[in-house]
Amino acid sequence: MPIRRIAQILSGFRILNHNLLLFLFSGLLGLLFVVKTHFKKTKSWQDFLHPICQRLYMPLVPARIQNMLYRNPYLSEPEVSQTVLQTSGGLFIDVGAQSGRYSILLNEQYTHIIAVEPHPKMVQYLRFNTVRAGLGNIQVLECAISNHDGVAIFHVSPISGWSSLIELSNRGLTRRIQVKILTLSTLLEDREADLIKVDTEGGEWLILEGAEPVMHKIKRWLIEVHELDTHPEWKARAEAQLRYYGYSVKWLDADHVYAWRPKRS
């Protein structure tokens, strides 16, 4: 090949690389502008990233990385994650399990885990994630927990983590489906629960009502109380309700209340 031809090819590569760098740099500037514009409309980076993360379902991530992420107590809600990692026992019920982060995080802490999730798409991901992680002690239950047994309307949001039995005007709910519902009384039967985690976008009050007959069988609660920005009085309501049944109460962050039964001396 003539030397001149080689020089032309190399020159072409330099031009291509230069144009590619300009294109990537322009794209990065455009992305930063969009992020900055939209971030101004939110209160924090967490608020900005939440809807994006809700759409990045874990099955798209290789199993090895997925397990590492789900078992990382600093990945999301660090105070909550680190607190529940100090618990252990026979039965953990994960109400509003979504794609299974807490079920997988606490897999080694509990003998048996019931992951409860009514959202059809999230149930698929939940089953997929637990199978890929090779976790045989997680039972996936496709239903919602409420204050009675039967069926109910489930309000589905485009952002899966915002779907709920409760219709909330600020969640962009687009469709309604019918789902099976159970009370914790029915689910527990004659068993005891060492920990129940509740993240149900406003359905926590129905769950607590349905659990009243079996409160003595539940050692610990972790409840995310929603809508506290519009109903700050619900914080005192949650505390009073849990203390009424003999629990000690601690707020782990702005939204998560942890309740446990003190050890008797």
103, 94 in Cβ contact below 8 A?
yes
239, 229 in Cβ contact below 8 A?
no
Residue 200: the pLDDT is 93
Tokens standing for residue 63: 């199993």
Per-residue pLDDT at 49 exceeds 80? no
| C-alpha to C-alpha distance for 250 and 74, rounded to whole angstroms | 20
What digits encode the pLDDT tens for the residues 156-208?
887 767 788 887 666 666 788 999 999 999 999 999 999 999 999 889 999 99
Q: Which percentage of the chain shows pLDDT scores above 70?
A: 68
What does CATH list as the number for 73-260? Answer: 3.40.50.150
143, 157 in Cβ contact below 8 A?
no
Q: Which of 136, 80, 129 is nearest to 256 (CA)?
A: 80
DSSP 255: S
What digits encode the pLDDT tens for the residues 13-45?
444 455 555 556 666 666 665 555 555 554 444
Q: Mean pLDDT check: name the lowest of 20-34, 40-54, 76-90, 106-120.
A: 40-54
Per-residue pLDDT at 76 exceeds 70? yes
Residue range 212-237: mean pLDDT, rounded: 94
Residue 225: the pLDDT is 95
pTM value surpassing 0.85: no
- Distance spanning both ends of the chain, measured CA to CA: 90
Q: Which of 131, 95, 86, 99 is nearest to 113 (CA)?
A: 95
